[in-house]
Amino acid sequence: MSEAIVEVRDLSNCFGPQVVHEHLDLDIRRGEILAVVGGSGSGKSVLLRTLIGLNRPSAGSVRVFGEDLLTLPEQRRSRVERRFGVLFQQGALFSSLTVIENIALPLIEHAGLSRASAERLAAVKLALAGLPANAGDKYPASLSGGMIKRAALARALALDPDILFLDEPTAGLDPIGAAAFDQLILTLREALGLSVFLVTHDLDTLYAISDRIAVLSQKRVLVADRLEVVAAYDDAWIRDYFHGPRARAAEHTHASLRETD
């Protein structure tokens, strides 16, 4: 079993009287793609935001590479967080910057590169994300949904992260575009040795690329294991999600693909 590079223990997230997470435990292992699923309101995106430091939890600990993010001095925490790459659900690109300028920005701000050097390196990240070179001169408003996802992924890769955090990366994409994005994530994980924390509701993604699946329910991680183990777990939401018509179709599709391979 690979080592845990992120260890979440006894985590609680409360917003006023609303308790989103309580006594939540979860590990992210080196080199794995961990997919997080759960019903609406289960706190999937809140958990992601907590892990990357955008939300301070009410209680508990988040250890990354052996260091507790919640107790580190700001400068040291910032150094750890630079090892994260984050793709937000809507891309979160700066609308007033071109794609290349969006990708170059963290290289200028955090790596201290000149604009010319940052933009040269940004062009490499653009290619890694599967976008043509001429996409770099475009503004986000002129990009398709799939291109926005890839541009945001290129920016997430800018600082050569160890961990990628992806929030619903295939949401809004057509099935062909979503499948291509899934394969891109798989390729990048293999080529760059990334660990991936993936919030999704896409069953095709779960079957295609996840190593483990964590189910958020009842304010905690109900189960975190391989797909076949999770699908067999005795819980009403899991039964509805993993054994409904949509799940059977996804399972059939990916069983057929494995036979073809």
At 129-175, the pLDDT tens digits run: 999 999 999 999 999 888 999 999 999 999 999 999 999 999 888 99
* Amino acid code (one letter) for 98: T
Cα–Cα distance measured from residue 79 to residue 219, given in angstroms and rounded to the nearest whole number:
30
Here the CATH number for the domain that contains residue 217 is 3.40.50.300
Residue 147 counted as domain residue: yes
Domain match, 102 and 143 both: yes
Cα–Cα distance measured from residue 121 to residue 103, given in angstroms and rounded to the nearest whole number:
9
Instruction: Give the number of other Cβ atoms within 10 Å of residue 96's Cβ.
Output: 10
- Give the CA diameter of the chain: 56
Domain end call among 161, 183, 209: 161
pLDDT band at residue 92 using 50, 70 and 90 as cut-offs: confident
Residue 121 counted as domain residue: yes
Structure tokens at 54: 């955008």
Percent with pLDDT over 90 in the chain: 74
Number of domains in the chain: 2
For residues 135 and 99, the answer to whether their CB atoms sit within 8 Å is yes
Q: Between the ranges 76-85, 218-227, 238-247, where is the mean pLDDT highest?
A: 218-227
Domain match, 119 and 151 both: yes
**In terms of residue numbers, what domain contains 131?**
94-161
Give the DSSP H/E element, type plus range, for residue 196.
strand 195-199
Rounded to the nearest integer, the mean pLDDT of the chain is 91
Question: How do strand 220-225 and strand 212-217 relate by DSSP bridges?
Answer: antiparallel
Give the pTM: 0.90
Task: Calculate the dihedral angle through the C-alpha atoms of 100, 134, 153, 113, rounding to the nearest 10 degrees.
Answer: -30
Structure tokens at 113: 């590169």
For residues 80 and 64, the answer to whether their CB atoms sit within 8 Å is yes
Domain match, 170 and 132 both: no
